[in-house]
Amino acid sequence: MMEPVLTIVVPCYNEEEVLPETMMKLGLLLQELMNDELVSKQSKILFVDDGSKDRTWEMIYKEGLKNDHVRGLKLARNVGHQNALLAGLFTAKELSDCVVSIDADLQDDIQVIRDFMLKFHEGCEIVYGVRKGRDTDTFFKRSTAQGFYKIMKMLGVDLIYNHADFRLMSKRALQELERFKEVNLFLRGIVPLLGFRTDVVYYDRLERQAGETKYPLKKMLAFAFDGITSFSISPIRFVLMIGFVSFFMSLVFGGYFLTLKFLGNTETGWTSLITSIWLIGGLQLIAIGLIGEYVGKIYKEAKQRPKYIVDIDSFNLPVPRHRLLNQTGEDELYNLDFRKIAESNK
């Protein structure tokens, strides 16, 4: 049997500090996997630049020109981790039998990719990397993340506990994933829905090797909220339930107040009145806001805007790579005007 072609997809946003190390380590690993005949010699690492503002793309691009095993994909602007990942997965899928996604910061143990491949050879279509513990995360990150998994579970969303976006997917699984057309694609929730033969590999999560987290609290909360509302309508049900409960309560109270009135000892009642106005008003606002959230999601889905736009694909340059290298010095390469070159090479 021919060895399978593997592509390792790495989304990168302002990762210039950690990128050289990531490139080197992943490159070495890929070489080892090739030597052990676990993956084909055609295997690649695909770096997706998610509209970085630093030298990230320049580094990816140059490496891509020099190194046959490196491919660079530059997105036209920052679209966020999930969409950058999707851009990478769908681009990689075309030329690969299986794709592994991993963060640029080397927090996930890259040696696990070897285990992923072994499982793939055994016939698994999806392999999840799962963290054993979160000792290296701050207490804050650990507890918020765990809270998130618990809430999702309560809301009936099936997530793999302590699994981030470090996983292997086969070409077939990716083809099926592509059929999920939703714009609000929450990968961690969707992938388990695919089914197929799956397995799990456990590993120790390490510290970020360099640079800073690109997920500050605000983004984390937005991510969690998005995950919940993309996957579960329990919040709406909950609101509906509150609605029913307060309706019945008001019937009961109504009856009670009427009896009081007929018995002749009416309260002045200002306190209860004003309290209930505020209470109901608040509940209504919450309910409307929440429903608005879902309407907003529907609005986005209805538009079906593309999730990402590719600017440059280093495997799809207007001029063959070797010709570029012969024509110009490495440092000039980055500033090439592709439209001009394409003209002059006609």
Residues that bind Mg ion (CB under 5 A): 103, 105, 107
By the rule CB under 6 A, 107 interacts with ligand UDP = yes
Quick one: 38 or 60, whose CB is closer to ligand UDP? 60
Asked if 253 touches ligand UDP (CB under 6 A), the answer is no
Q: Exposed (0-12), middle (13-18) or buried (19+): which is 139, by Cβ within 10 Å? A: exposed
Question: 326 is written with which tokens?
Answer: 């012969």
Least Å distance, CB 204 to ligand UDP, is 15
Structure tokens belonging to residue 173: 């699984």
Phi, then psi, of 5 in degrees rounded to 5:
-85, 125
User: Which backbone phi and psi does 250 adopt, to 5 degrees?
Assistant: -65, -35
Rounded distance, CA 139 to CA 137, Å? 6
Give 247's DSSP letter.
H
CB of 266 to ligand UDP, least distance (A): 59
Q: Which is nearer to Mg ion, 97 or 103 (CB)?
A: 103
First CA to last CA across the chain, in angstroms? 41
Q: Decide: helix, strand or coil at residue 67.
A: coil
CB of 104: closest distance to Mg ion in angstroms? Answer: 8
Buried b vs exposed e over 140-171: b needs ≥16 C-beta within 10 Å?
eeeeebeebbeebeebebebbebbbbbbbbbb
> How far from 284 is each of 251, 270, 280, 289, 345, CA to CA, in Å?
18, 21, 6, 8, 65
Q: Does 109 bind ligand UDP (CB under 6 A)?
A: no
Instruction: Report how many residues bind ligand UDP under the rule CB under 6 A.
Output: 16
Residue 78 binding result from ligand UDP, Mg ion, none, given CB thresholds of 5 to 8 Å by partner type: ligand UDP
Q: How far apart are CA 106 and CA 102, in angstroms?
A: 8
Q: Which stretch binds ligand UDP (CB under 6 A): 32-40, 122-130, 213-221, 291-299?
A: 213-221
**Interface with ligand UDP (CB under 6 A), residue from 213, 246, 276, 327:** 213
The entry of ligand UDP, Mg ion, none near residue 50 (CB within 5 to 8 angstroms by kind) is ligand UDP
Q: Which of 78, 232, 234, 276 binds ligand UDP (CB under 6 A)?
A: 78
Q: Max CA-CA distance within the chain?
A: 101
By CB under 6 A, is residue 101 in contact with ligand UDP? no
Q: By rule CB under 6 A, what string of x and - marks binding of each residue 24-53 to ligand UDP?
A: --------------------------x---
Q: Which residues bind ligand UDP (CB under 6 A)?
A: 11-13, 15, 50, 78, 80-81, 84, 103-105, 107, 213-215
